Amino acid sequence: MILLGTYCFTTFPSTTSAYPSLPLGSYFDLHKPLQYSKPSKFTSLVINGHRRICDLFDLHQEQVPYEVAWSWQKEIVRDKRAQIEKEGDCDDTLIILQHPPVYTLGTASTVENLKFDMKNAPFNIYRTFNIYRTERGGELTYHGPGQLVMYPIINLRTHKMDLHWYLRTLEEVVIRVLSSTFSIQASTVEGLTGVWVGNEKLAAVGIRVSSWITYHGLALNVTTDLSPFKWIIPCGIRDRQVGSIKELLVREGVGHGRADLHHLNDASLIHITHKSLLEEFSQAFQLEYSYKSVSSTMLYERK
């Protein structure tokens, strides 16, 4: 089981806002509706036949502050628990997005894995810097632009009431994405979580389950600037490295023979990866997406 309460270590920006308790920046305009992707032929080919409905909030082009997404997840979990109590079941939900630079600590984390004093954070080039201790399982990690984060909020009673199975299935989703889209052969490592290519970790997994409803999830490095990982001991593992899809494609050869990946810029690489993640996730969990939209104002009001 994944236990422990929640508390935060935070430093807030000096800029004022209508919501001073939350970190804001140019990446998140309170009065601008968040963009989301409409259903495409790509997705509809995957979803056919009878499958469970999954509400999809596709914000993969947005950098949503961590605390906002965290609070949103917890509210969705509360709503689903109430719905199950009343109706016996609930639809599943998937959120996919990016975060501005942030470190998060799981229930197993210690501040000893930070290589700096929290009062003197190294990222003075960013407008904000935050460190959050969360209730998810796992150790210390970094989230930032170029990293796709998936937050599945699903009712395991209707899938499989087995946390080991759920974690392994999330890892398998990433492994299939890397193989089918980029011809990158990834794997898991016995005794460790996440998805690995050789000695490099490309995806981290950390979850929380409440009454068999999941939240938190996985983070896949696509075009991520990996330098912030140098300031921590990622996942508490000292003898392994962190990698990204972009870095692998450049270093090992474009797409391991996929010439069509040669001219992709960062935005295109993010978009292709996100589409593949959605496809593989829907197949792995047998879900049919119902696309939803949300405004940034609504997200802040929900806190």
The full set of domains in the chain, from first to last, is 52-294 (3.30.930.10)
Angle at 23 between CA 20 and CA 27, to 5 degrees: 125
- What six digits make up the tokens of 152? 């599945």
Question: Which CA distances in Å does 299 have to 72, 82, 235?
Answer: 7, 20, 29
- pLDDT at position 123, please? 56
Range 204-225 average pLDDT: 96
3-state secondary structure of 280: helix
Going by pLDDT thresholds of 50, 70 and 90, the confidence category of residue 71 is: very high
pLDDT of residue 124: 47
Radius of gyration of the chain (CA): 18
**Catalytic residue, candidates 8, 54, 90, 235:** 235
| Range of lowest pLDDT (83-92, 104-113, 165-174, 268-277) | 104-113
Going from the C-alpha of 293 to that of each of 93, 216, 298, 299, the distances in angstroms are 12, 20, 10, 11
What average pLDDT does the segment 171-177 reach? 98
- Residue 244 pLDDT > 60: yes
Position 137 scores a pLDDT of 84
pLDDT of residue 113: 66
> Which own/partner contact pairs does 225-233 have at CB distance under 8 Å and 24+ positions apart?
225/144, 225/145, 225/146, 228/101, 228/103, 228/123, 228/142, 228/144, 229/142, 230/115, 231/114, 231/115, 231/116, 231/122, 232/103, 232/113, 232/114, 232/115, 232/140, 232/141, 232/142, 233/113, 233/115, 233/140
Q: What is the largest CA-CA distance in the chain?
A: 54
* 286 against 137, higher pLDDT: 286
For the chain, give the percent of residues with pLDDT over 90.
55
Residue 233 pLDDT: 64
pLDDT digits (tens, 9 = 90+) for 8-34: 222 223 333 332 233 333 333 333 444
Confidence band, pLDDT 50/70/90 cuts, at residue 203:
very high
Q: For the chain, what is the mean pLDDT?
A: 79
- Statement: residue 293 has pLDDT above 90: yes
pLDDT band, very low/low/confident/very high, at 289 (cuts 50, 70, 90): very high
pLDDT for residue 87: 95
| Active-site annotation holds for 235 | yes
Three-class SS state of 195: strand
What confidence tens digit (pLDDT) does each residue in 126-135 have? 444 578 888 8
pLDDT cut 70: percent of the chain above it: 71
How many Cβ atoms are within 10 Å of 43's Cβ, its own excluded? 19
Distance CA 240, CA 234 (A): 9
